[in-house]
Amino acid sequence: MKSWRQFWWRKPTVLAFIDLIQDLDVLLPLLIASKTREDLCFKVCVTDWVIEHSPRVKNILESLKIDYFIVVRRAVKMGLQPSLKGIKAMITAAETTAGPHVCAHNLTKRCDREGILTYTLQHGFENIGLTYFDEIHSAESIHFAAQKILIWGDLNTLSPQVLPETKSRCIPVGCFKEISLVTSGVKIPGQRDDEAIWQNLAVKRDYLVAIFENLHWHRYSDEYRSRFLADLEKTANLFPDITFLIKPHHAGQWLTDRYQGQIPNPENLIIADPKNPRWEGFTAPAIIHVADGAITTPSTVALDAAQSNCPVAAIAYGLELPNYEPLSIINSLEDWIAFINSLQTPETRLILQKQASDFICQNIVPGDAVERVLRIISTDIHTKP
């Protein structure tokens, strides 16, 4: 028989806010783990913009039986939605004063005013305001509204430029990003033709190498971009028995949307255009899961690959990338060739995997990050005056 308290007690409600396509990949492990907890109940709020632009988000939430409700993005920015009645805490995947994060930022400020606990998560290895700054995203221009910022590594992994007011709110918890069980079963054939890609008759090649572009393409010079495409094309031509799959960033889409020049066209090169409904559901971690190796512009993909024990190289072309050591760094066509060759022998492949393991140790707090995040939120709620 239930006690009086058990009968009337309700689990505290945490609002999880999804406004960008990539937000789901950061929050999903928390949403899944929370379903079996007795101390927290998550309420998932998704903007109409995400539903319109990413069927994957809707499909994953529904396939995992995660209840959610839709709000109008403009109304969130104006402070009209969602209702905060009964909400004890609110968590976002990406929240800063930067333009793409303004919706989450405005909602966080609203929650702060209402006395609701607020949290945001480190959402990338190069996270503006935390580990990454440039001429557009300067230290002085990037601020957070969340009361606590939950980060992947120790405080020493933050940029030296990080503001004291930001650093004081950072709590190391580890990396909670995981390959979604919903999207990990990707099968990439070896034929370039768009229709043949989806047929069983596609040509089988020996290896799959995934090539990734990141979100912040404004940081790269025209020379960097032209060398990237030229060396990719030459490498693909030099290794005709290897499939090269280019994965543009879901939000940036530089190669498939912004670039106006000639796109590399070898027979063994596939471009996973996120605007194509057939490719929209293919996340970077899901592709890495089936790849033999990964080459990426500086981005979170390097960490995703390392966590999947997938050999990975970062493209520098003269950029200083100390945070990516001891991974392989690409500065020339010869570096592309050397990395591809290293993927194909057991001894050199083990060396690349050891580099990936060391990279993780340098940048990620070990342990169960999901449990740490949920425990922090639960403790804060239950100890709040």
Distance CA 75, CA 293 (A): 43
Q: Give yes or no for a contact between 324 and 330, defined as CB atoms under 8 angstroms apart.
A: no
Any alpha helices (H) in the chain, and if so which ranges?
4-8, 23-34, 48-53, 55-63, 73-77, 102-113, 164-167, 222-238, 277-280, 284-290, 301-307, 333-342, 346-363, 369-383
Note the CATH number of domain 11-175+366-383: 3.40.50.2000
Q: Give yes or no for a contact between 74 and 65, defined as CB atoms under 8 angstroms apart.
A: no
Residue for token pair 């804060």: 380
Instruction: Indicate the domain borders of the chain.
Output: 11-175+366-383, 196-363
Give the CA distances from residue 258 to residues 255, 283, 354, in Å, rounded to whole numbers and listed in that order: 6, 20, 36
Residue type, 274: P
Q: Give yes or no for a contact between 190 and 268, defined as CB atoms under 8 angstroms apart.
A: yes
**pLDDT for position 257:** 56
Distance CA 57, CA 53 (A): 9
Nearest to 146 by CA among 100, 98, 89: 89
**pLDDT for position 122:** 97
**Architecture of the structural domain at 196-363:** 3-Layer(aba) Sandwich (3.40)
The mean pLDDT values, 10 residues at a time, for the chain of 385 residues are 47 97 93 94 97 91 96 98 98 95 98 99 94 86 98 97 98 81 45 41 68 72 86 95 82 53 76 68 79 92 94 94 95 98 96 97 96 98 92
Q: Whole-model pTM? A: 0.85
Angle at 268 between CA 197 and CA 276, to 5 degrees: 40
**pLDDT for position 259:** 53
Are 11-175+366-383 and 196-363 the same fold in CATH?
A: yes
